[in-house]
Amino acid sequence: MTGVVIPSVLRSLRGLPNSLVVGGTILLLSVFVGIFPSLFAPYDPNAFDYNELLSGPSLQHPMGTDNFGRDVLSRVTHAYKIDMQIAFFATVVPFIFGTTIGALVGYSGGIAEVLFGRVVDAVITFPFLVLVIAIVSVLGPGLVNMYIAVGVVGWVFYARIIAAEIKVQKRLDYADAGRAMGYTHIRIIFFHLLPNSITPALVYWMTDMALCILLGASLGYLGLGAQPPTAEWGVLIADGKNFMVTAWWISVFPGLAIVLTGLGFSLVGDGLAELLRSKR
Amino acid sequence: MQLIRFIFYRILHLIPTLLFILIVVFVLVRLLPGDPASAILGDRALDADVERINRELGLDRSMAIQFLAFLKSVLTGNLGDSIHLKVPVMELIQKRLPVTIMLTIMASSIAVFVAVPLAFVAALWRGKAGDIAVRGVFQVGLSMPVFYLGLILLTVFGARLGWFPVGGYGDGFLDNLYHLFLPAVVLAFSLSAILMRNLRSAIIEVLDAEYVQFAKGKGIGPGMVLIRHVLRNALISTVALFGLSIGTLLSGAVITESVFAIPGAGRLMVESIYGRDYPVVQGMTISLAVLVSLTFLLTDLVQAWLDPRVG
């Protein structure tokens, strides 16, 4: 069975851009680790071991231990769960909401479009992190509040991309045909125009997930995102920042996990964009 | 004449944007949990005192009138007092914002100095080892969090090697530059990655354009073609991108200042959030947003100057 499946999978991969294959592999592995962290973590991520404080990378602790004797590898592994969640939850609502609003705005045009333009102007005028920090300061620190803060701002970017696409699509013949057939506007927008406009938003979604991992880690580092002792990469780096000279491994390994995951998302984004260009 | 009209309309365009910024900040502040009166008086405030403070702050009036009052005080430069530091927020902005601006300017200069030559290398030797190496390094740079890179450089060049101070701002202009160098490099890294990537594809596009082929055909030397035709045209989209990245850059500055303990606007903002010092958060949010919209204006003008078609 596998003798047939694997070669055929490899054959279908051959036509894809390299960046998509490499990035996709990284992401699939990251998601797998995120779902089953216990398979990869040798220890309990929150277990203190006072006999192993600040010990360097070794066979027992490949990434060393922190100032409470917690195993860094186990903490980095368990953080996959939180950070992959951040990437998904912080972006999925803006993606759906922004796409819907963008489709409606792009299709209707007129006053809605003008108003929307003003909203876009205002949102891009705030440095993203500053606005998110300001919102988090109102709601209080924590992951859920971070999702809300990102959602309040993030939908605008999806809406802008979709609105521009729909504006082009609605003038094409098939949209006219739909109207001539007496279809409702909603049916034309969501069943005909949107499937033809969604790809740039999907590409942006990949970039956005990478950005949100960076953002989540940054807020975690500043103490405004995930709260300790939750294992989250930004929190882990902050935990180790005072030990950088004596015990670099506490901060360095979680950072490498961020870089690797971010790389996965941006490679997939690049690969998707390349694939779409060559299809067109 | 055209250009003057463009500038005039562009400045006019700033007004609704600034108004919107103020509305957003106004609404945010009204959403705060708990009322300002108890924040000022503490948990054991008497009802009568709360009422008095609310009257003094104008919080018993309608939203519209409150907004007009807010608008008036912002326009006259009165952003209230810091709850913890007991000084006018405006004074804090005047002291802290220039530090952030200097950090951002330094970072942008470093980014441009790094990105432009490397983009040429990558574009002219497309697909060769140099191109792949440059793009590989910057691909990693795009996925690297600012605070992580900052922490590593701070440890290696500050604590271990002792080449740079381990934070702070120093006294005097040159000392400031010296203190800001490492943080500026950190901030510049991801910006130069974005600029390099864009400039590289812009250069490739321009190199293939007919007018460049024509200029070469006329016998103009390759160096001259690169500077006069390729660089100028490739820069146009880069300037636009630069304007759009200023928000990201300032966001990065907030974090960098926290990592390097630089007394700038960003660090003050983060500290004020820990201390629930809302007037400061509000003032900093407004001033950073205004800074961004002014940068947008500036980049639009530079773009109009580089490319007459924009005006």
Q: Which of A125, A234, A248 sits opposite B292 (nearest CB)?
A: A125
A130 touches chain B (CB under 8 A): yes
**What does the alpha-carbon distance between residue B143 and residue A262 come to, in Å, rounded to a whole number?**
5
Contact A217 B145 (CB under 8 A): yes
Cβ contacts of residue A169 below 8 Å, gap of 6+?
A175, A193, A196, A197
User: Shortest CB distance from A130 goes to which of B145, B244, B254?
Assistant: B254
Are B145 and A252 within 8 A, CB to CB?
no
- Report the residue of A129, A131, A207, A266 to disrupt the B interface, i.e. the one with the largest count of B CBs within 10 Å: A129
CB neighbour list of residue A175: distance below 8 Å, 6 or more residues apart: A169, A188, A192, A193
Distance CA B147, CA A236 (A): 12
Which residues sit opposite A265 in a β-bridge? none
Instruction: Using CA coordinates, name the residue in chain B closest to A130.
Output: B251
Quote the DSSP letter at residue A257. Answer: H
State ipTM.
0.84
Residue numbers in A near B161 (CB within 8 A): none
| Cβ neighbour number for residue A9 with a 10 Å cutoff | 10
- Judged by phi (left if over 0) then psi (alpha if -120 to 50, else beta), residue A48 lies in beta
Among A221, A222, A216, A262, which Cα is nearest to A82's?
Answer: A216
CA-to-CA distance for A168 and A197, rounded, in angstroms? 9
pLDDT at B278 (0 to 100): 79
Residue A233 has pLDDT above 90, yes or no: yes
Residues A185 and A131: beta-carbon distance below 8 Å: no
The DSSP annotation for A146-183 comes to HHHHHHHHHHHHHHHHHHHHHHHHTTSHHHHHHHHTT-
Q: List b or e across B83-95, with b for residues whose CB sees 16 or more CB atoms inside 10 angstroms.
A: bebeebbbebbee
Interface test with A, best of B151, B154, B267, B299 (most A CBs within 10 A): B151
Contacts of B140 in chain A (CB under 8 A): 259, 263
Find chain A residues with C-beta within 8 A of B250's C-beta: 127, 129-130
Which stretch of A7-21, A240-254, B3-17 has the lowest confidence by average pLDDT? A7-21
pTM recorded for the entire structure: 0.83
Cβ contacts of A128 on chain B, cutoff 8 Å: 247-248, 251
By the 8 A CB rule, do B250 and B100 touch?
yes
Chain A CB contacts of B292 under 8 Å are 125-127
Token pair listed for B145: 């969090």
Q: Tens of pLDDT along chain B (311 residues)?
A: 677 887 888 888 788 888 888 888 888 777 766 566 666 666 677 777 777 777 776 667 777 888 888 888 888 888 888 878 888 999 999 999 999 999 999 999 999 899 888 888 888 888 888 888 888 888 888 888 999 999 999 889 988 888 888 777 888 888 888 889 999 999 999 889 888 888 888 888 777 777 777 777 777 777 777 777 777 777 777 787 887 788 888 888 989 998 898 999 988 988 888 777 778 888 888 888 888 888 888 888 887 777 766 55
Enter the DSSP assignment of A229: T
Least Cα separation, residue A4 to chain B (angstroms): 35
> Between A and B, how many CB-CB pairs are < 8 A?
142
Per CB-CB distance under 8 Å, the chain B contacts of A130 are 250-251, 254, 266, 269, 284-285, 288-289
Residues counted in chain B: 311
Query: Which residues in chain B are contacts of A225 at CB distance < 8 A?
Result: none
All residues at 6 or more sequence positions from A173 whose CB lies less than 8 Å from its CB, including other chains = none
Q: List, in sequence order, every residue forming a beta bridge with B88; answer none if it has no partner.
A: B81
Which residue in chain B has the smallest CA separation from A123? B21
In this complex, do B288 and A130 lie within 8 Å of one another by their Cβ atoms?
yes
* A chain contacts of residue B148, beta-carbon cutoff 8 Å: 217, 237, 251, 255, 258-259
Q: What CA–CA distances, in Å, run from A255 to A83, A185, A217, A259, B146?
A: 12, 48, 9, 6, 10
What does R_g of chain B's alpha carbons equal in angstroms?
Answer: 24
B186: tokens are 């950190």
Is-contact A90 A144, C-beta < 8 A?
Answer: no
Give residue A121's identity as a one-letter amino acid code: D
Closest CA to A264 of A21, A10, A14, A34: A21
Local confidence band at A217 (pLDDT 50, 70, 90 cut-offs): very high
Closest CA to A165 of A193, A187, A192: A193
pLDDT tens profile A77-116: 999 999 999 999 999 999 999 999 999 999 988 888 888 8
Rounded CA separation B34/A54 (Å): 42
Other beta carbons less than 10 A from residue B250's beta carbon: 26
pLDDT at A205 over 80: yes
CB contact under 8 A, B281 and A134: yes
A129:B258 CB<8 A: no
- Sort out which chain B residues have CB atoms less than 8 A from A224's CB and list them: 270, 273
Q: Is A277 touching B (CB cutoff 8 A)? A: no
Beta-carbon separation of A125 and B284 below 8 A: no
Q: How far is B260 from chain A (nearest CA, A)?
A: 12
Count how many residues are written for chain A. 280
Q: Is A56 on the interface with B (CB under 8 A)?
A: no
> In this structure, are residues B25 and B282 in contact, taking their beta carbons and an 8 Å threshold?
yes
Closest by Cβ to B148, choosing from A133, A224, A255: A255
Alpha helix locations (H) across A223-248? Answer: 233-240
Whether A123 shows a pLDDT value over 60: the answer reads yes
In DSSP notation, chain B reads -HHHHHHHHHHHHHHHHHHHHHHHHHHHHHT-SS-HHHHHH-TT--HHHHHHHHHHHTTTS-HHHHHHHHHHHHHTT---B-TTT-SBHHHHHHHHHHHHHHHHHHHHHHHHHHHHHHHHHHHHTTTSHHHHHHHHHHHHHHTS-HHHHHHHHIIIIIIIS-SS-SS---SSHHHHHHHHHHHHHHHHHHHHHHHHHHHHHHHHHHHTSHHHHHHHHTT--HHHHIIIIIIHHHHHHHHHHHHHHHHHHHHHHHHHHHHHT--SHHHHHHHHHHTT-HHHHHHHHHHHHHHHHHHHHHHHHHHHHH-TTT-
Contacts of A127 in chain B (CB under 8 A): 246-251, 254, 288-289, 292
